[in-house]
Amino acid sequence: MTALPTVRCCAPLAGDTLADGDALELEKLFKALADRHRLKIVNRLLAAGEDAVCVCDFEDLLGLKQPTVSYHLKLLRDAGLVEREKRGSYAYFTLAPGALQRVGELLGAPGAAASR
């Protein structure tokens, strides 16, 4: 349910004076990306494309223990950047479609891919 619109987020940074609430949302988004391990996760998911990646794969990639990997994935999920699909006892992760592009556009990269 919820039907949360992934990253509906935020006033574009280049707009008029940033309201406090908008600043908070943007902060949350950038915080999610402001960590070497989470960046590697996103990079891996980008490389994987349609394919989903499971938690155990990230343990090897990052050299972190399983609880820590879950912690990072949770942050990315809360920020709306990745999505989880449970299959059996495994959990597979993919990038939230368009999430990264939307972040890019917030920074002033203009229309960009937004062929729309």
Partner DNA sequence: CACGGCCATCGAAGTCTGTCGATATACTAC
Partner DNA sequence: GTAGTATATCGACAGACTTCGATGGCCGTG
Site for a second copy in 74-113 (CB under 8 A): 100-101, 103-113
Q: Which is nearer to DNA, 29 or 105 (CB)?
A: 29
Q: Which is nearer to a second copy, 67 or 111 (CB)?
A: 111
Q: How far is the CB of 113 from DNA (least distance, A)?
A: 28
Q: Which is nearer to DNA, 79 or 105 (CB)?
A: 79
Site for a second copy in 8-67 (CB under 8 A): 13-18, 20, 23-24, 26-27, 30-31, 33-37, 39-40, 42-44, 46-47
What is the three-class DSSP state of 85?
strand
Among residues 68, 77, 3, 67, the alpha carbon closest in space to that of 45 is found at 77
DSSP annotation of 84: E
Handedness of CA 36, 76, 104, 53 (dihedral sign): positive
Decide if 74 contacts 36 (C-beta within 8 A).
no
